[in-house]
Amino acid sequence: MNIGKMLNEKELTINIEGRLDTVTSPQLEAELDFKGVEKLVFNFDKLDYISSAGLRLLLMAQKTMNKQGEMVITNVNETIMEVFEITGFCDILTIQ
Q: Report the pLDDT value the prediction gives residue 37, as an integer from 0 to 100.
A: 95
Burial of 20 (0-12, 13-18, 19+ CB in 10 A): buried
DSSP track, 17-72 = EEEESTTTHHHHHHH---TT-SEEEEEEEEEEEE-HHHHHHHHHHHHHHHHHSEEE
pLDDT grade for 63, boundaries at 50, 70 and 90: very high
What are the pLDDT digits (tens) for 1-27?
A: 899 999 999 999 999 999 999 999 999
What are the pLDDT digits (tens) for 33-42?
A: 889 999 999 9
